[in-house]
Amino acid sequence: MRIAAFIPIKANSERVPGKNFRILNGKKLYEYILEHAVEADAFDDIYVDTNSDEIKDFAAEKGMLVIDRKEELARNTANGNDLLLYHSEKYPQYDYYFQLFATAPYLQPETIRMCCGKLLSSETYDSCFTAVENHGFYWLNGNPINYRPGILPRSQDMSPMIEESTGLYGISREALRRYHARIGAKPYIHIVSKFEAIDINTEEDLKIAEYIGKSYWKF
């Protein structure tokens, strides 16, 4: 049983210029997930898909394999499914494919290891992803989606809404080829803390991550 992780990290970012190179609590953003992936000790191989020479050098020093980012996959039109399908076609020798992201700096090695173990040992699940449980009143396009305003429930009695943390995805080779997506038909959903679920997409996210990171590590 062979398992690989693929970590896409672009040199460019539109919403937050230089995002993956920004300093977060004394460390560059991209360094977190690369170090945590190694520390998890869960993968036969770890690949870093990037168009940055700096990140290539850092990955090589950590014993990772480097993929030169294809130009078309560095555009904003490319998504996580496109990347993982490309990686599985380029490296078809693995039984399971995982995808990790630099924008999830606080995803812990223990969580990565648990997700890998759960998927590989299961006869039920064909994929997995990390998520958070949210309790609240939600609306979409001007309409309530999980309650009726005229019959107001107690928030603690409501079923939680599950939100992908976009930090980790894993899928079997067979499911990836069948569904052409990083989530299959029977995913295992691994609930993480809001700390681990922090996802850096805006300047505000960086400020929140900086503050929460400093507070978290005090305990």
For the segment 102-115, what is each residue's pLDDT rounded down to a tens digit?
999 999 999 999 99
In the predicted structure, residue 216 carries a pLDDT above the cut 90? no
pLDDT of residue 219: 39
Question: Position of tokens 């997506």?
Answer: 181
Can you give the pTM of this predicted structure?
A: 0.93
Q: Can you list the alpha helix ranges (DSSP code H) found in the chain?
A: 29-40, 53-61, 80-90, 109-121, 173-179, 203-216
141 lies in a domain?
no
Collect all residues with Cβ–Cβ distance below 8 Å to 1 and sequence separation of at least 6: 95, 96, 120
Confidence label for 218 from pLDDT (cuts 50, 70 and 90) = very low
Whether 66 contacts 47, CB under 8 Å:
yes
Residue 104 lies in a domain: yes
The model's pLDDT over 178-190, given as tens digits with 9 standing for 90+, comes to 999 999 999 999 9
In a domain, 95, yes or no: yes
Domain count, the chain: 1
* Domain membership flag for residue 193: yes
In a domain, 30, yes or no: yes
Residue 114 maps to a domain: yes
Domain contains 140: no
Q: Give the domain extent around 83.
A: 3-132+163-216
Q: What is the CATH number of the domain that holds 82?
A: 3.90.550.10
**Do the domain assignments include residue 153?**
no
